[in-house]
Amino acid sequence: MKIVTYNVNGLRQRISQFGSLRKLLDSFDADIICFQETKLRRQELKSDLVLADGYESFFSCTRTSDKGRTGYSGVATFCRVKSAFSSDEVALPVAAEDGFTGVLDTSGSKIAEGLEEFAKDELCRVDGEGRCIITDHGHFILFNIYGPRAASDDVDRIQFKLMFFKILQKRWEFLLCQKRRIFVVGDLNIAPAAIDRCEAEPDFEKNEFRRWFRSMLVESCGSFLDVFRAKHPERRDAYTCWPSNTGAEQFNYGTRIDHILCGGPCFHQKHDLEGHNFVTCHVKECDILVEYKRWKPGNTPRTRWKGGMNIKLEGSDHAPVYMSFGEVPVIPQHSTPSLASRYLPMICGLQQTLVSVLMRREVAKEAKSYEALSSLTTQSMKMESFSECAERSFNCHEPGISPGDHCSFANQEPKGEMWKMHENHRDLPNEAVCNTTITAGSCKQINLIPSDRAKKKARKIQSSQLSLRSFFQKSPNPRHDVDNLVTDTSLHQADVPESPHRKTPVTDYNNCHAELHDVNSSGCSQDQDEQDGNCSLDKEKNNVALLEWQRIRQLMENSIPLCKGHKEPCVARVVKKPGPTFGRRFYVCARAEGPASNSEANCGYFKWASSKSKHKK
């Protein structure tokens, strides 16, 4: 059996990186895959994020909005199985639990055994951030943990982290007393020893979380084994996490905070032999999957990190850790626990009654009848609107229009020469033809109804987001657009067939087209002068803006200092931590963070940006 733990730093991003959830899970080739920091709220658990063929999943999400932590953490456990029902596979859990205190149990919110000494509000607080999912696999209980992070000066989070691990330890101790075997995997946010950090911080050995971690290990008379250190006791530079804002991954300048711990007896407990433990008896491998790192060997020279905050490496800032072991006995047949994602209401939906199905069917029939009636009504209104438009356009007594002119439709036999409607007006009957005399005056009276497609297209153009380039392009001439509109709605000579009996429509059309052409020609000459003036004015404004921008850039480049280690321009940063220096700018070396012994790494240069006083003396 193979177990993998991985802080994905956003499950949605990792799924997008691999193409699908199934491809992401298959890439590990593991039986149980534990994710931390999924960053998903419960209402965001959709099928493409939680379901994959051949896997059963269990999620724990953040339930609190304290300090903007909604959708901040979250854990998920995926189990690869052949069948979700009546299966004897060890990977399929026989039971599952959201959190580790028991207060999130929907069946009764009963506090877990061994935690009766804690107040319920404390238990609700530690389980409210979605940091643990427990799956019971018969031969072992698997804790998928995302430990809280606490800055050295954040007193509230330090106290929360201490309470989190204190309650967790009590739960472990109770299970161990019950002779249960426990696996703890995940990002605990604790580097247990100096060898697990790129650089020891001040008072490293006095850190209370490290003291707690070591107290849990067998070497300190505890009950757990750090599987990686048991297999690689002297390996250095074995890190699983790197800062994402300093480029430290380039020089493997990180920490080992993703762990796999084992507690309880091995499968040979009946023999009760001295020196037997689960790691030495059953664990075959335990290592870091470095192929999932963002920085791959060989890509450093051409993609060197130069302090750019906009550099986005593909992948998480953590690397997965795996453990494989054998000699696992079979377990009785069982089915997927009710906590599985397949049973979530947002995935499978709510149970339906027969009455609701019949009511939905009646509503669907009524909807279809209403759509048919609406379609007939709309078509009738369009026909009436076209008839009124045609009557207003050709039967009104205005100069240039003969009182005897009229318009005939398909129900009347066409006489003489015909002209068809413009191809863009597709909402009008295609059979509509007209044999009336057309003059310049009548051309201006044509008022065709725009099609639904044209309306949608116009709304889309108006609501679409403008690009940055559109602000620098020459603005269109409104008069030119009007002329184009008149030209498009006018009749083309090719569309009017010549009749041997009647020459008037063609002759009148030519006169109308000539008049419009004269108007357009006179308007174009005026518009051309206006466009030339506007163009020269725009060019002058662009040149002024370009010169001003170049001047600002030159001032900025001259004000940026050079770091003392490499004599290269520094990068500017802003203090975001609340305090007396909040919002103040400073300069640091642009190189990636690395060990002090490496001359290619960050030289540690730091300088505050000069701040001029607003009040002149």
d(CA 286, CA 261): 11
**Cβ contact 315:17 at 8 Å:** yes
| DSSP H or E segment with residue 125 | helix 120-127
d(CA 592, CA 308): 10
Lookup: tokens for 135: 């799956």
Catalytic: which of 137, 259, 282, 318? 318
Q: HEC profile for 413-481?
A: CCCCCCEECCCCCCCCCCCCEECCCCCHHHHHHCCCCCCHHHHHHHHHHHHCCCCCHHHCCCCCCHHHH
- Give the residue among 379, 438, 385, 383 at the shortest CA–CA distance from 411: 383
Going by DSSP bridges, is the β-strand pair 419-420/258-263 parallel, antiparallel, or unpaired?
unpaired
Annotated catalytic residue 318: yes
Helices (H) and strands (E) in the chain, counts: 14, 17
| DSSP H or E segment with residue 225 | strand 224-226
**Cβ contact 336:92 at 8 Å:** yes
d(CA 42, CA 493): 66
Lookup: tokens for 535: 């163009």
**Cβ contact 31:79 at 8 Å:** yes
Q: CA 585, 586, 588: angle at the middle one, nearest 5?
A: 150
| DSSP H or E segment with residue 361 | helix 354-394
Q: Which residues of 73-192 form beta strands (DSSP E)? A: 75-80, 95-98, 132-136, 141-146, 182-187
> Would you give the DSSP letter of residue 201?
P
- Residue whose structure tokens are 């607080």: 125
d(CA 187, CA 185): 7
d(CA 238, CA 224): 20
What spatial distance separates the first Cα and last Cα of the chain, rounded to whole Å? 76
What angle do the packed helices 120-127 and 155-177 form, to 10 degrees? 100
Going by DSSP bridges, is the β-strand pair 182-187/141-146 parallel, antiparallel, or unpaired?
parallel
Going by DSSP bridges, is the β-strand pair 321-325/2-7 parallel, antiparallel, or unpaired?
antiparallel
Catalytic residue numbers, as ranges:
318
